[in-house]
Chains A and B, each alone.
Chain A
Amino acid sequence: MHEVKMNRKKDKGFESPRPFKLTHQVVCINNINFQRKSVIGFVELTIFPTVVNLNRIKLNSKQCRIYRVRVNDLEAPFIYNDPTLEVCHHESKQRNLNYFSSAYTAAVSAVDPDAGHGELVIKVPSELWKQGDEMNVLKVYIEFSLDQPKGGLHFVVPDVEGSMAERGAHVFSFGYQNSTRFWFPCVDSYSELCTWKLEFTVDASMVAVSCGDLVETVYTHDMRKKTFHYVLPIPTAASNISLSVGPFEILVDPYMHEVTHFCLPQLLPLLKHSMSYLHEIFEFYEEILTCRYPYSCFKTVFVDEAYVQVSSYASMSIFSTNLLHSAMIIDQTPLTRQCLAQALAQQFFGCFISRMSWADEWVLKGISGYIYGLYLKKTFGVNQYRHWIKEELDKMVEYELKMGGVLLHPTFGGGKDKDNPTPHLHFSIKHPHTLSWKYYKMFQCKAHLVMRLIENRISMEFMLQVFNKLLSLASTASSQKYQSHMWSQMLVSTHSFLKSISNVSGKDIGPLIKQWVDQSAVVKFFGSFAFNRKRNVLELEIRQDYTSSGTQKYVGPIKVTVQELDGSFNHTLQIEENSLKHDIPCHSKSRRNKKKKIPLMNGEEVDMDLSAMDADSPLLWIRIDPDMSILRKVEFEQADFMWQYQLRYERDVVAQEESILALEKFPTPASRLALTDILEQDQCFYKVRQGACFCLAKIANSMMSTWTGPPAMKSLFTRMFCCKSCPNIVKTNTFISFQSYFLQKTMPVAMAQLRDIQNLCPKDVLNFILDLIKYNDNRKNKFSDNYYRAELIDALTNSLTPAISISNEVRTVDNLNGDVRLILEEITRSLNMEKLLPSYRNTITVSCLRAIRMLQKNGHIPSDPSLFKSYAEYGHFVDVRVAALEAVVDYTRVDRSSVELQWLLNMVQNDPAHYIRHKILSMLGKNPPFTKAAESPLCNEALVDQLWKLMNSGTSHDWRLRCDAVNLYYTLFGLTRPSCLPLPELGLVLNLKEKKAVLNPTIKPEQGPDTTEMTGITMGVHIPVMGFTSSLDEGLITMETVSSVSMSSGVAPPPQGLKRKLDSVVGPLGSSSPEPGQVLQEEDTSKKFKIRFNTVEEDEIDMESPHDSQAFIHHHLNILERPSTPGKEPPAVDQAVLSLPVTPLPSSFGKESTSSSKHSGDHHHHHHHHEHKKKKKKKHKHKHKHKHESKDKERDSHAFSNSPASGRSVRSPSMSD
């Protein structure tokens, strides 16, 4: 039902998926032990039942050990079951990612708070049931502890002498999306708001920073500890609650006394500097939103080993300590400011205003990203802003074209096709926790770009009015006493957002939303033109590619800007179904007036040298969609001189960057000149100039044979940065002009890319760079030159070319090339100096490590990962570790080393820093040791098992990491069963034939007998758990199990609609190795279930009969989906749910298969209505067979069409019949 509700068209308001309303929660943490890394505390939730006879309360909790639960002072039995601990059970040898993804989605759904589920099910004592009638308050009191938490809370305890405070030990909460359940039991949903009282008792030397207002700090009786009392009167979702405890230094913001900053010991001076402009960001947001900051205080905490750079919670943000910097650092300054601005934007939209459901996430991310963009524009200028927009757009377009679309507002359960709106992805987008991290990043990126599109449509003024409206509604609601319907005003939904837009602006942005929000993918344009001299008309042709993955068709207006001799003209063309050509009349005659200035778009009039242009045409340059008002990629063809004019005279940085990119294809002296001119222009945006450097290097390489004069950029650099009297010596550093500074940094790096005829870096250039290093003098500079020196090392790295080597020659010192020897000397000296005088963020070490890896890769020095491995160890600065790990990852790929791969995977499992684990997996995904396309000795069964285990159960404490592991698995093995796994044996094939079961050869299921046997065993293991968990269901369990088994056994991933029925998952999902927190109560009932379980097992065997492993899986999926609260749903609900069974397999299957699956769907539907327990079973068996057949057909056609490797089991579709 809930999913249906998410569909915003029908959305009327927020309805809680829970049979109760949470109004207040107390979190009290009595003890935090840094030595043992443990936490003890209790929570108390005040809830109002909204139904009569509330007998179950479902809460979220992960990895907590729960000691007791009391409801209104009565002991209450409870069950704690977390299906995400181990996604796939029974060590089935299924290694198929499709299977995993659906099982994982099912597991996450089973405890999804947005659907009213949870890991912790509390049985309300029967004495209280009657109270439900009077809607009395229930107080749920839960005592819990956490021991060495792997997720949710992160302890940083440096291994040095002294007390915990002296050691700088601290702890902080973290997580990706709603992850608060990792550290205390709660309703971990962004849509369940309540007020908070938070108490933390910590060592007297520590400070506990949390959400809300610090009311008081009280010593304990022994005066060795103190308790921090926080009150958060603004209704807030549990997911927005955080905590950090440590011996923080406290800085009250000098401009805003209600803002307090916290950092680790010794960093206070950096904190002072880094926070000195926060008030400006505050002022900016408050001004544009015409709204006060919603909370009465704000806290920033800077912690080590942060999970992400910025994470925002109600009235506080946790940052990485590595964002702090001193006044000497240039490069970090804007980055830190940007992070602060992001954090603050999320305070308004994300923390204060929360979301109704996951499908509405895009609104929050979009708005916070959008207002952050406005801050960028104001602080860093329009150029920077437009550059950023272009960068984000390019990034997103690239991702979508590569991976398929990013869908902002997924709707589920609407219909067949909608069930899996993104079949191209190897993960489900139904939950934030199943998303790939990269996808989520692109999602955020797209969200703010779409907000910008809306702004383009309705104007910024209206846009800000909408935001203001949302905020003022929310703040009115927040000040209300508990009245649940008012609090929901603090939740934003797609529907309410769009409604405000239409109310405020009176404009219909439906098509825009439909195109970019309800639909994934981007537009890909190809443009070309011809000038018709007779008609004085520009014939523009705009084609689209909407067939390849990640693309969609665009119909609607598009802006084209044409710069002619007489000025710049905007034309709005209509892109329609069939028209490709557009005639645009030109304003100017080609006969140009001599000496006349040419007016530009911005009103400026400039002199141009028009000799390069075509004498017959008045066109200087043409731009398609210059304002980036479509999410698109444009490939436009125009002549080289037009690109050159565009680069020189167009004032928009986006246009300049586009032309730089285009000029790479035109290595001519004219291009060279245009680029050089841009490089010399002070007024030009520095990032454009930086881009021009690299382009110039590429052009120079293409023009190698005809190049005249000194190496590209050398004389320019000399003129700009070297002494007048001695041109070979660089001036002493001042870095007063940041533009010049960035250019000075970039030019050597670009120059080092130059190559001579032998494809070597010219000797001149190398010596030049070596001289820059030698003569670098920072003594008189008030800024640090660490980034500059690091880039000079990068330049040396860039100059490296592969060594000429006789095959198999061992790399020794003696046969080191002379130039390389010089380079190596610089690198070793710099690296050694870093040990004595470390640079900020160890930038130089990072560059040196990269350089050494490059030397190894090019065969100058022996390839050896041991140096990198030592730098990658815990205890180095995180940037250094990442650089070293990157080198190890690269080594693993190049040398196909299984030892290093193991070492890396080991680190993924054991490293204390979560960021490093994540980084290793994402780097392995980016630079994989092998891919599904290629054979590799590394690809073996053990690795498959290991990775499988990693994503199945090894990463249950960190959503992000699990998704990273899934990504890596996908990169290495693809969606289907990895090819390195043993093929099914011949006997099996025969066996299968008898049963007329045809398998998808790529799935490679288990042997029939094997499976049976194994299932028997695993089921045996699980009997107790099963029995226990199903205890709640009392007599109804059997029926439910059976029906659900039959229902979807033939349908690949479980139908969406069913999932919402999933309860705290029972049965096999209770892992065979129970979590510490799993507390088994109600022992008295456990005996019964074994008996009942037999019926399940029967089904099990029944399932095996087709010897179809797929059926086996589905069986498990179904058990997983079996609701634990049967009979609660009115029959109408079931019906609605059941009418949506869907096959997630692409619709490209044969007609036959579609119809058959529909058929089976009908069957389900029909069947489910049977409430008789006995009859049902028989029918089920029947149906199973039927369904498996149809399923097999499907799969067969799948195999046939999709798998060119079907040679493994030569079988035609007809054979299956």
Chain B
Amino acid sequence: MADPAVMAGGFSAIVGRSGCGKATSSPAENYQLARRRTLQVVVSSLLTECGFESAEKATVESLTEMIQSYISEVGRCAKAYCEHTARITPTLSDAVVTLNEMGFNVDTLPGYAKRSQRMVITAPPVTNAPVIPKALIAGQKRTHPSHIPSHFPEFPDPHTYIKTPTFREPVSDYQVVRERAASQRRDVERALTRFMAKTGETQSLFKDDVTAFPLIAERPSSIPYLSALLPSELELQTLEETDSSEQDDQTDSENTPVNNLNDDPGADKENSVLLAGGVVPLVKVSEESMIDNPYLRPVKKPKVRRKK
């Protein structure tokens, strides 16, 4: 069931790795391949023992798979037994129990091992064990407190469960900061406008080379005054940052969300008057009954008989 996911994961992992770190992944694969090859040799020799002269590759492959499964199952099962008895290393008895469990008569094993026609297989080629990539060590791992035995697993890295401090020496030189901010902004702007120009329609100032100094084509808007008059989101954000304290004082709860979006109750001198009054938004709801403005009055129902 989980195979496709595994496969997909593995695939992407391989693809991902092939890009960045060949050195770490290759040995692991080699290791796997070498083991598999050994198993194939084993299968082949067994077949020869049994008197086959040749075998189809697919057959060998299937048998290899079976034997691998069998061995894996033995290992898995043995491990389970050992862990069941609160150990971490399987013992012989675990293996025996396992084999028994799987319906194998262990007593026949020594006899089989000493059979005369058995073939001697050369040791598998020595390959480097896969290098386990070094985990990112961030911060000091905590040591076990005294009541925990040392064989218990170590604590994970603190960053995985406490916090992740990043360490970068802050640049304190004002000039550099400004310089960097300016160039960064310029780069972003340039990249963004170039991207927009490349992906959309453009206008050009030069006839000979339309790609030089491309201008994003203007687009007439149906309601041009909106974008020209309303402050942009960015500006609003700036405003919020610069005087968030004043922002808090404002009770905008009565406003519609749209209004809230664009409302920029700055704290400049004009507005401070407004703030002092503080009734602007309230007027509409809570004081409506007190304000007698004809535009706020409800619309009347038509009279039954209206003069024409």
Residues on A lying within 8 angstroms of B by beta carbon are: 158-160, 167-168, 204, 207, 213-221, 223, 226, 250, 252, 254-255, 257-258, 260, 264, 266-270, 272-273, 276-277, 297, 304, 321-322, 324-328, 333, 723, 725-726, 729, 774-775, 777-784, 810-814, 824-825, 828-829, 831-833, 835-838, 840-842, 852, 855, 861-862, 864, 866-867, 870-871, 873-880
* A729 touching B225 in the complex, CB below 8 Å, given contacts A838-B232, A871-B218: no
Please measure, in the bound complex, the distance between the C-alpha atom of A160 and the C-alpha atom of B229, giving whole angstroms.
Answer: 19
* B90 beta carbon closer than 8 Å to chain A: no
Question: Given A252, A723, A813, A831, which contacts B212 in the complex, CB threshold below 8 Å?
Answer: A813
Question: Given B214, B219, B239, B306, which contacts A828 in the complex, CB threshold below 8 Å?
Answer: B214
Contact: A832 with B224, CB < 8 Å? no
Contacts of B8 in A (CB 8 A): none
Contact: B205 with A250, CB < 8 Å? no
Contact: B228 with A877, CB < 8 Å? yes
Contacts of B292 in A (CB 8 A): 257
5 contacts between A and B (CB under 8 A): A260-B293, A325-B229, A777-B178, A870-B217, A879-B228
Closest 10 CB pairs of A and B: A875-B220, A327-B266, A832-B193, A214-B294, A726-B175, A877-B228, A158-B222, A269-B263, A813-B212, A276-B274
Contacts of A781 in B (CB 8 A): 238, 242
Please measure, in the bound complex, the distance between the C-alpha atom of A270 and the C-alpha atom of B274, giving whole angstroms.
Answer: 13
Question: Given A268, A273, A328, which contacts B239 in the complex, CB threshold below 8 Å?
Answer: A328
* A218 touching B238 in the complex, CB below 8 Å, given contacts A252-B291, A836-B196, A877-B228: no
Question: Given A207, A270, A327, A835, which contacts B271 in the complex, CB threshold below 8 Å?
Answer: A327
* B121 beta carbon closer than 8 Å to chain A: no
Chain B positions 215 through 236: 1 when the CB is less than 8 Å from some CB of chain A, otherwise 0: 1111111111111111110110
Contact: B302 with A221, CB < 8 Å? yes
Please measure, in the bound complex, the distance between the C-alpha atom of A276 and the C-alpha atom of B267, giving whole angstroms.
Answer: 13
* B273 beta carbon closer than 8 Å to chain A: yes
Contact: A782 with B212, CB < 8 Å? no
Contact: B242 with A867, CB < 8 Å? no
Contacts of A168 in B (CB 8 A): 223
* A829 touching B190 in the complex, CB below 8 Å, given contacts A835-B216, A876-B218: yes
Contact: A867 with B215, CB < 8 Å? yes
Q: How far in angstroms is the closest Cβ of chain B from A138?
A: 21
Contact: A260 with B295, CB < 8 Å? yes
Contact: A829 with B193, CB < 8 Å? yes
Please measure, in the bound complex, the distance between the C-alpha atom of A877 and the C-alpha atom of B221, giving whole angstroms.
Answer: 9
Contact: B220 with A876, CB < 8 Å? yes
Contact: A217 with B300, CB < 8 Å? yes
Please measure, in the bound complex, the distance between the C-alpha atom of A774 and the C-alpha atom of B189, giving whole angstroms.
Answer: 11
Mark the stretch among B66-74, B162-170, B279-287 that contacts chain A.
B279-287
Q: How far in angstroms is the closest Cβ of chain B from A844?
A: 11
Q: How far in angstroms is the closest Cβ of chain B from A999?
A: 51
List 18 extra interface pairs beyond A784-B235, A832-B216, CB under 8 A.
A218-B301, A219-B299, A219-B301, A266-B226, A272-B280, A304-B223, A333-B270, A729-B175, A774-B186, A779-B238, A780-B238, A782-B243, A862-B205, A862-B206, A864-B205, A875-B222, A876-B218, A877-B225
* B61 beta carbon closer than 8 Å to chain A: no
Contact: A219 with B302, CB < 8 Å? yes
Contact: A254 with B218, CB < 8 Å? no
Contact: B181 with A777, CB < 8 Å? yes
Number of A-B contacts (CB under 8 A): 236
Contact: B265 with A160, CB < 8 Å? no
Contact: A810 with B228, CB < 8 Å? no
Q: How far in angstroms is the closest Cβ of chain B from A881?
A: 9
Q: How far in angstroms is the closest Cβ of chain A from B171?
A: 14
Please measure, in the bound complex, the distance between the C-alpha atom of A281 and the C-alpha atom of B221, giving whole angstroms.
Answer: 35
* B268 beta carbon closer than 8 Å to chain A: yes
Contacts of A775 in B (CB 8 A): 178, 182
Contact: B209 with A813, CB < 8 Å? yes
Contacts of B209 in A (CB 8 A): 812-814
Contact: A270 with B277, CB < 8 Å? no
* B296 beta carbon closer than 8 Å to chain A: yes
Contact: B291 with A257, CB < 8 Å? yes
Please measure, in the bound complex, the distance between the C-alpha atom of A1179 and the C-alpha atom of B292, giving whole angstroms.
Answer: 73
* B264 beta carbon closer than 8 Å to chain A: yes
* A254 touching B228 in the complex, CB below 8 Å, given contacts A269-B263, A824-B205, A824-B213: no
Please measure, in the bound complex, the distance between the C-alpha atom of A304 and the C-alpha atom of B226, giving whole angstroms.
Answer: 10
Beta-carbon nearest neighbor of A277 in chain B: B270
Q: How far in angstroms is the closest Cβ of chain A from B14?
A: 40
Contacts of B215 in A (CB 8 A): 828, 831-832, 867
Beta-carbon nearest neighbor of B280 in chain A: A254
Question: Given B193, B217, B224, B265, which contacts A836 in the complex, CB threshold below 8 Å?
Answer: B193
Contacts of A273 in B (CB 8 A): 264, 266, 270-271, 274
* A837 touching B234 in the complex, CB below 8 Å, given contacts A781-B242, A812-B206: yes
Contact: B228 with A867, CB < 8 Å? no
Q: How far in angstroms is the closest Cβ of chain A from B296?
A: 6
Please measure, in the bound complex, the distance between the C-alpha atom of A824 and the C-alpha atom of B205, giving whole angstroms.
Answer: 10
Q: How far in angstroms is the closest Cβ of chain A from B229?
A: 6
Contact: A250 with B203, CB < 8 Å? no
Contact: B303 with A218, CB < 8 Å? yes
Q: How far in angstroms is the closest Cβ of chain B from A839?
A: 8
Contact: A725 with B174, CB < 8 Å? yes
Q: How far in angstroms is the closest Cβ of chain B from A716?
A: 21
Beta-carbon nearest neighbor of B298 in chain A: A217
Q: How far in angstroms is the closest Cβ of chain A from B190?
A: 6
Please measure, in the bound complex, the distance between the C-alpha atom of A1159 and the C-alpha atom of B242, giving whole angstroms.
Answer: 82
Beta-carbon nearest neighbor of B271 in chain A: A327
Contact: B225 with A258, CB < 8 Å? no
Contact: B232 with A270, CB < 8 Å? no
Residues of B243-264 contacting chain A, CB below 8 A: 243, 258-259, 262-264
Chain B positions 117 through 161: 1 when the CB is less than 8 Å from some CB of chain A, otherwise 0: 000000000000000000000000000000000000000000000
* B208 beta carbon closer than 8 Å to chain A: yes
Please measure, in the bound complex, the distance between the C-alpha atom of A726 and the C-alpha atom of B180, giving whole angstroms.
Answer: 14
Contacts of B189 in A (CB 8 A): 829, 833
Contact: B280 with A784, CB < 8 Å? no
Q: How far in angstroms is the closest Cβ of chain B from A215?
A: 7
* B13 beta carbon closer than 8 Å to chain A: no
* B115 beta carbon closer than 8 Å to chain A: no
Please measure, in the bound complex, the distance between the C-alpha atom of A784 and the C-alpha atom of B178, giving whole angstroms.
Answer: 20
Interface centre among B189, B197, B268 (most CB of A within 10 A): B268
Contact: A811 with B231, CB < 8 Å? no
Contact: A835 with B229, CB < 8 Å? no
Please measure, in the bound complex, the distance between the C-alpha atom of A324 and the C-alpha atom of B262, giving whole angstroms.
Answer: 13
Q: How far in angstroms is the closest Cβ of chain B from A110?
A: 37
Contact: A873 with B220, CB < 8 Å? yes
* B207 beta carbon closer than 8 Å to chain A: yes
Contact: B300 with A267, CB < 8 Å? no
Contacts of A215 in B (CB 8 A): 294
Please measure, in the bound complex, the distance between the C-alpha atom of A837 and the C-alpha atom of B214, giving whole angstroms.
Answer: 17
* B84 beta carbon closer than 8 Å to chain A: no
Contacts of B182 in A (CB 8 A): 774-775, 777
Please measure, in the bound complex, the distance between the C-alpha atom of A813 and the C-alpha atom of B178, giving whole angstroms.
Answer: 32
Contact: B263 with A836, CB < 8 Å? no
